[in-house]
Amino acid sequence: MVEALKKDPSWKGRRGPVLLVIMDGVGYGKYREGDAVADSKMYNLTAITAKSPAVKLKAHGKAVGLPSDEDMGNSEVGHNAMGCGRVFNQGAALVSSAIETGALFQGRAWKEIIAPLTGGAETPRPPTLHFIGLFSDGNVHSHLDHLKAMIRQAKKEGVKRIRVHVLFDGRDVGATSALDYVDPFEAFLKEESTGGLDARIGSGGGRMWITMDRYGADWAMVERGWKIHVHGEGRQFAGAREAVETYRREIPGIIDQDLKEFVVAEGGKPIGTIEDGDSVVYFNFRGDRSLEITAAFEEDRFDRFDRGRRPKVCYAGMMEYDGDTHVPKRYLVSPPAIDRTMGEYLAATGIRTLAISETQKYGHVTYFFNGNRTGKFDDKLEDYVEIKSDVVPFEQRPWMKCAEITDEVLKAIASGKYDFIRLNFPNGDMVGHTGVYQAVVCSMEGMDLQLGRLAKAVEEAGGVMVITADHGNSDDMFEHNKKTGEVLYKEDGTPKAKTSHSLNPVPCIIYDPEYRGEYPNTGGEGALEEGLGISSIAATCIRLLGYLPPADYDKPVLKKPPAL
């Protein structure tokens, strides 16, 4: 439990609520070419920025708890940072440290995973260690170095059979880079397959086609993954390379995240089915796209799809994906202990709060914003609203649900019920990941229309609107030469699409129509503290609500005026 926040004696109050608008995946581009944000006609955002103080915030690397500043930010750690007001070491850093120190392999979960696989009698098919996860080094959901380290350790401990079920990325890495990972990894497995070890890729497909659904948006994805990983039911190929090349030939323009499912087979028989007595490690460290496949393995009462034969296995996640419900039951690395979040302080202070987004980002403004906590801090003070997302490719509905989200927020502002409203527009991130430039521009302009509606409502209510983002994405839609900055082109003469997040800073804009002199408020840049990260959003919102932030929170972007 935390104590209530203390009133800020310098704050003169506002009539309306503080509105935190998170434009997911919207940053300040480094390159003019490929910056879909700058290329969009965002008249409302431009007008708001011109008359409001604004500053650029860091949203990647060490500023959000990742190992290095070469690491892209992501929605999970971004919302953690904004909601927690401080920077915590995040999944990638924690897992890397646990592997380097050997703590992962000394833990009870790893020992329980390995125990059923070693020391038994020789059989035609030894019990198998299965690894399922995102097959890249994007370091947002997983990293191949972690997988390789576990395979090496399993070999040392006497495991004789390993199967890897790969989920092609194409979002946090190059859109068509799958074979850049398949070929060296196959070579790695071949090199490790000595001394009686048989290690191979068993099945796979694109992350947006199988297994990695989140927030219950499309359980059919998980069902497809279950069928190929567990039962080996799916189109058969001699190997992962053949599957990738075949689908690219059959479906021109397909990118890695959408690659169809495949099963590796020999003589018509799958080589990687999951059987009783096997062990399974889901090696993603990020929670949102890990919970559903975990439920399929762990839950006894499960009704999302017909699992058919459910093998009796020893299952572990890389991390604890939900700290409230303690899912999974077994995990290899403990998540960061995030406490004293902004939401908890607001509840203790009696602040009435609304959190809202559509399905794709609903968990981010609730679970992640609250420090990986599922429930509310106070049911009487907090309302959470989920607008159901469309289950279609995002480039086909690039406006997504931004208008519906805004409709609900306008009602909330008019009701006078809430002191603090936080919302997430997913457009810049979800559409940005498709790599379809025209769709991203459409998504930005659709979102901008909603910013105009919100600004008008905030002005009428006498509130304050903070506009920011959790990381960049739509601001960097083309691949560039890292040395020269030149756009890279495909054989057909069109730019190579970039589908991953960017390393670019994000905006923090304070729209305060009834400003009363508590901080410098000149339009544009220069009035706010510079060099900060998005973890400063929490203290900023707390000050705008009229309270003093906790002493150990990262400082707000608001400067004190000379008179104070």
3-state secondary structure of 534: coil
**Count of CB atoms situated within 10 Å of the CB of 264:** 25
Q: Which of 40, 75, 535, 536 is catalytic?
A: 75
Say if residue 411 is exposed, middle or buried (CB neighbours under 10 Å; 0-12, 13-18, 19+): exposed
Burial class (CB within 10 angstroms; exposed 0-12, middle 13-18, buried 19+) of 106: exposed
Cα-Cα-Cα-Cα dihedral sign, residues 128, 173, 500, 72: positive
Query: Does residue 443 have an active-site annotation?
Result: no
- 512 by Cβ neighbours in 10 Å (0-12 / 13-18 / 19+) ranks as buried
Tell me which residue of 19, 22, 20 sits closest to 427, measured CA to CA.
22
3-state secondary structure 340-396: CCHHHHHHHHCCCEEEEEEHHHHHHHHHHCCCCCCCCCCCCCEEEEEECCCCCCHHH
Q: d(Cα 352, Cα 501) in Å, to the nearest integer? A: 33
Distances, alpha carbon 241 to alpha carbons 200, 249, 402, 488, in Å: 13, 12, 39, 24
Q: What are the residues whose beta carbons fall under 8 Å from the beta carbon of 334, sequence distance 6 or more?
A: 94, 319, 320
Q: Any idea which residues carry the catalytic annotation?
A: 75
